[in-house]
Each structure stands twice: as C-alpha cells, then as structure tokens.
Amino acid sequence: MGVLSRAGAGPLCAAARAGRHRRCRVQGVFLGAPVGGSGVSPGAEVIPRFWRGKCFSSGKEPAENSSVTPMLRHLKYKIKSTGPITVAEYMREVLTNPAKGYYVHRDMLGEKGDFITSPEISQIFGELLGIWFISEWMATGKSSTFQLVELGPGRGTLTGDILRVFSQLGSVLKNSDISVHLVEVSQKLSEIQAATLTEEKVPLERNAGSPVYMKGISKSGIPISWYRNLQDVPKGHSFYLAHEFFDVLPVHKFQKTPQGWREVLVDIDPQVSDKLRFVLAPCATPAEAFIQSDETRDHVEVCPDAGVIIQELSQRIAQAGGAALIADYGHDGTKTDTFRGFCGHKLHDVLLAPGTADLTADVDFSYLRRMAQGKVASLGPVTQQMFLKNMGIDVRLKVLLDNSDEPSTRQQLVQGYDMLMNSKKMGERFNFFALVPHQRLPNGSHQMNACKSKPPPAPVAGFHELAWR
C-alpha cells in the first residue's frame, strides 16, 4: 500500500526513512450539500496525489471498522443530551478524548499507521531543523540554558534527530544547560517517544497526576520531561517546535448565509440514527466573534486553540527570549473548507466511524500572525522547499551520498529528498513560519536604538537565501 501524507503526499513507501531508528440545545438547519471538502465521501473524490504528511491505514481494527464506533455512541449521547455540537467540539472529542480519542491510544504514524510525516521520511529534515535552532540560539546571545520544547512530537523522531545534531556540535553547545520538554496528549505516543529518545538503563519517572507526567534522560544524557499543556512547561529562554501539530487543533466552521454568518454544527441524522450530519446553527453563535469584519470568503475555519498557543508562545519569547518554528500545511487566510479526514491512507468522510480516522484542517498562518499581536516578529510562511533549500539541504544530501556506498541507502536518500522538496509532493504544500523577538530582525525596535558600531543581526536562517560571509 502506498503511503499518503496528510497534506496529500502520494505513495512513498520506498522513500520511507531508511532503517528508521525508527456541542443551548439548538435545532440546526440541515446542510443538504456536503460542507465543502469536509463532506467528502470515501471514493467520491480523487485524492490529490501529493499532500501533507499523514496517511491513513486501517483494515486491522475489526471492532472499529464498523461505523458504529464507541466514539459515535459517545457523541450521539452527547448530542441527544445537549443538542448539536460545534465542529471544534467534534474534532476535540474525536481526536483527544482521554478515553477514546484517536490520538490517545494508538500509533498512527508511518506506513503501517495512517499517515507519514517529513521527519519519518528523511533524517535530513530533523538535522536541518537542529541547525536552525543552534543558529537562532547563537544569534540570540548563546543563553546559558537551552530549552527545546516540541508540541505534538509524534514518535519522537524529530527531536531525536535534533539531539543527534546537538551531540555532534557539542563543542558549540558545551556551556549551555540543555533540556527537552515534550507537550503530548497521547499516552501511547509518549511511550514511543520515550523508547525513541531515552536510555532504557535509566528508568523513566512517571506521575500521571502531575502536570509533568513523565521524566527521562536522553541517550546523550539530556533531561526530558513530558507535559499535557504548554502552560506547564517552565518559562525561560526556549526554542519551540511544532511540526504537523497546529493542523490537528479543533476548528470552528462558519458559512455565510443571506441571514449572516452561521456556524456549522454536527447533529444526528434524523433519517439514520447511527449517522451524523452537518447542520447550520439557526442563529449566530458566540464563536462568530472570531470572524474578521472585513472577511470576504463565504466559508471560514477558525482555530481558537491555535490562537491561544500562539499568544502563549509570543508572550514567552518576548519575555524570556528564544524562538518558535512552526511547520505545517496551510494557507495565508485564503482557503475556505479544508476540514478532512484520512483513513487507510485515503481521504475519509469526516463524520464516518469517528475515532478511527485522523481529522485535520489547514493552518491559517494569517491568523497565527494576527494572534502574535505584535509581541514578537513573525517570518513566513515560506514553502518547505525554500526553507530546506536555504538551510542547505543540497549540501547535506551530497555529504550523505558521498559517505554511502550502499545503493539502497543512496536510493532512499534521493527518494526522501524528492518527497520533501518536490513541488508536487511536500515541497510546496508545507510551510515554515517562525516567531522571533523583535530585536532579532534588522529593523527591530531594539536595533533602532542600538549602538551604531554593532553589526546588524544575521538573517534568520531558512527564511532568506544563505549568504556566506
């Protein structure tokens, strides 16, 4: 079976990373037609051949293969009790409900899972991100503490590759007190992360009731802590990373109607009791406040959770220093209905068999930028292709190829590169976006008052062409 990325990447089994070390009850108005892309019926739409890094497998879970899943029963009970729920509530329940959520108890990544992501495709991806963090750490004054914070770390592969770079550049980082902080809701994935990143000899410390629910030591001796919420991560000079994380956060969906904006809700189909359907709220809902007054689209998705996280990151970076690097598929405030599901490496009806498929919506980078509220500067989005090129992916590929005599390894390296960089694959569908302190940019407010003799800050790597000085 081919492996599809959530952004629509096509088959890449062969390119999979070599030897991977690794919810006022209201009656809604039925939306007769599917809500844009989210009304996808399996088989009704041809999958764009190359799209985001999530692919859905299945075919294995017999109990869950029936469309009447435990999650569907839970949602029906909820809707019967309180009325139709927002798409955001639907998404939150389906993905992260502590008992039955899609993300909580399964490993959905990789060829045997439901989707694949860039770090799972090529080690070069994580290595270049590692270089980016070191570069920003150096450009912001080589702080004596270096907190690497990853939101939604999946299998821990990306952090593992970054830590390998840190080890290799140990002489550069030697005076810095490095620690790793992983924000993860999934019990299953946190166990996999621990297996990937820690030394089995040093037992993990577990405390399910604590905000820091697990602690361990990396293979290179770096302390690692696990949290469910970003708010619990210690404040301090930190470098934040979110790869394919914002797209799984719950979105509210709104449709413009002759009566004004109406929120899309999820209800039980009155004709078929085990089926859900989209309806429009009969009147305005509070979430409508998120829509910009000058909005020109007729359908919008808004992700308030993303806004809260960006505000928190911005506040932290402005106060304590550091940077945030966000990579995901998305748009700059131009797209409309992007809510979709994936199962078995195929597009999946978002309302069918909830809990058995991933749900995702494109990240609206213009919203992220607005939510930074000017506390920090934002860069991007730039395409993955441009970012990785600027980070020197070609040079790194050449070094790896030069050092490998094994034809299959060389082939995998080249196929992985193609998957990450090709415009028709992940190269132009994924974007990089960063938050940095204002003084990090040449026209930053701090810089304007700076001493004339001080050279302007170096460009932020990845967002500009490399200039060798």
Q: Residue 361 CB, nearest distance to ligand SAH (Å)?
A: 13
Closest residue to ligand SAH, judged by C-beta, is 152
Give the nearest distance from C-beta 248 to ligand SAH in angstroms: 5
Q: Shortest Cβ distance from residue 270 to ligand SAH (Å)?
A: 32
**Closer to ligand SAH at the Cβ: 122 or 186?**
186
CB of 360 to ligand SAH, least distance (A): 9
d(CA 334, CA 325): 22
Q: Which amino acid is at 85?
A: I
Cα torsion through 308, 313, 318, 322, rounded to 10? -170
Question: Between 89 and 267, whose beta carbon lies closer to ligand SAH?
Answer: 89
Least separation in angstroms between residue 87's CB and ligand SAH is 16
Shortest distance (Å) from residue 185 CB to ligand SAH: 4
Token pair 């029963």 in the structure block, residue: 73
Rank residues 149 and 386 by Cβ distance to ligand SAH and give the closer one: 149
Please, what is the minimum distance in Å from the beta carbon of residue 249 to ligand SAH?
6
Name the residue among 329, 345, 307, 342 with its Cα closest to residue 430: 329
- Chain residues that interact with ligand SAH, rule: CB under 6 A: 95-96, 103, 109, 117, 119-120, 152-154, 158, 183-186, 189, 243-245, 248
**CB 431 within 8 Å of CB 328:** yes
Between 90 and 103, CB nearer to ligand SAH: 103
Q: Report d(CA 469, CA 190) in Å as an integer.
A: 42
Smallest distance, ligand SAH to C-beta of residue 182, A: 9
Closer to ligand SAH at the Cβ: 96 or 196? 96
Min dist CB 52 to ligand SAH, Å, is: 10
Closer residue to ligand SAH (CB): 185 or 204 = 185
Q: Which is nearer to ligand SAH, 194 or 377 (CB)?
A: 194
Task: Rank residues 128 and 158 by Cβ distance to ligand SAH and give the closer one.
Answer: 158
CB closer to ligand SAH, 37 vs 119? 119
Residues whose CB falls within 8 Å of the CB of residue 245, separated by 6 or more in sequence, listed in order: 151, 152, 326, 328
Q: How far is the CB of 99 from ligand SAH (least distance, A)?
A: 15
Parallel, antiparallel or unpaired: strands 276-280 and 177-183: unpaired
Are 137 and 460 within 8 A, CB to CB?
no
- Residue 467: is it exposed, middle or buried by C-beta count within 10 angstroms (0-12/13-18/19+)? exposed
Comparison of 261 and 430: residue with beta carbon closer to ligand SAH: 430
Least separation in angstroms between CB 258 and ligand SAH:
36
For ligand SAH, the closer of residues 103 and 261 by Cβ is: 103
Distance CA(33)–CA(269), nearest Å, equals 14
